[in-house]
């Protein structure tokens, strides 16, 4: 007999859902589906380099009533926080922070989120998450991960020996130099 998980996900077992995790959404945003510890249903994550913080949708995190009640109790009296939304509007919301353990692709970690009313996405992983994890992202095909693909999947280009330390000059390349800003650059990805 099909369990609740399989019934809600078209008969797919959790391990089969992996192939559905990274998707190119119609609005060209990077959207992934993943798991959050303590929640039965998969969450829809937006990876957003324009977001200054990580955000959680109130309705989604409230599905685990105990965890949400704990967060409300811990943040009681924390006041309000003002935020500018992507549409330019300024909103004030109660300051409710939640630590959530998120997992998708080969990324598995605990992050702090500001809880607010939002549509469309369960979580927004913003610059704090991007800076902390520096994930590998294929912006064309939309795969994302903690590690880069195998060397056979990418092109390596090196015009400058990595042993060059000062101004890029080597004895066997008289007059060859590389601007300091490019020192150490040895890989170029996705160049047609």
| pLDDT on residue 54 | 95
Sequence-ordered alpha helix ranges (H) in the chain: 4-8, 58-61, 65-74, 127-133
Strands 80-84 and 90-94: what pairing? antiparallel
pLDDT beyond 70 at 57: yes
Which of the four pLDDT bands, split at 50, 70 and 90, describes residue 37?
A: very high
Tokens read off for 98: 């939640």
| pLDDT tens-digit series, residues 101-144 | 999 888 889 999 999 988 889 999 999 999 998 888 777 776 77
**CA–CA gap between residue 131 and residue 37 (Å, rounded):** 22
| pLDDT on residue 17 | 37
By the 8 A CB rule, do 135 and 107 touch? yes
By the 8 A CB rule, do 83 and 124 touch? no
| pLDDT on residue 42 | 94
Q: Where are the domains of the chain?
A: 4-146, 148-192
| pLDDT on residue 27 | 58
By the 8 A CB rule, do 22 and 143 touch? yes
How much of the chain is helix, strand and coil, in % rounded to 5?
20, 30, 50
Torsions phi, psi of 97, nearest 5?
A: -110, 140
| pLDDT on residue 84 | 82
pLDDT beyond 70 at 155: no
| pLDDT on residue 41 | 92
pLDDT beyond 50 at 76: yes
Torsions phi, psi of 130, nearest 5?
A: -60, -45
Identify the CATH homologous superfamily for domain 4-146. Answer: Acid Proteases (2.40.70.10)
By the 8 A CB rule, do 184 and 178 touch? no
By the 8 A CB rule, do 23 and 31 touch? yes
């Amino acid at each position: 007999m099909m369990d609740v998980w399989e019934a809600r996900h078209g008969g797919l077992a959790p391990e089969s859902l992996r192939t559905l995790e990274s998707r190119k959404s119609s609005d060209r945003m990077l959207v992934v589906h993943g798991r959050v510890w303590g929640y039965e249903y998969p969450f829809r994550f937006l990876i957003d380099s324009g977001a200054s913080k990580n955000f959680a949708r109130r309705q989604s995190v409230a599905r685990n009533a105990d965890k949400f009640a704990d967060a409300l109790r811990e943040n009681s009296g924390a006041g309000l926080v003002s935020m500018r939304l992507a549409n330019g509007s300024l909103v004030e919301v109660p300051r409710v922070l939640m630590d959530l353990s998120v997992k998708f692709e080969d990324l598995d970690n605990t992050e702090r989120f500001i809880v607010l009313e939002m549509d469309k996405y369960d979580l927004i992983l913003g610059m704090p998450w991007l800076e902390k994890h520096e994930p590998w992202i294929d912006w064309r095909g939309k795969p994302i991960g903690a590690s880069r693909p195998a060397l056979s999947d990418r092109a390596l280009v090196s015009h400058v020996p990595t042993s060059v330390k000062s101004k890029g000059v080597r004895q066997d390349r008289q007059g060859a130099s590389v601007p300091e800003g490019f020192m150490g650059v040895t890989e170029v990805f996705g160049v047609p």
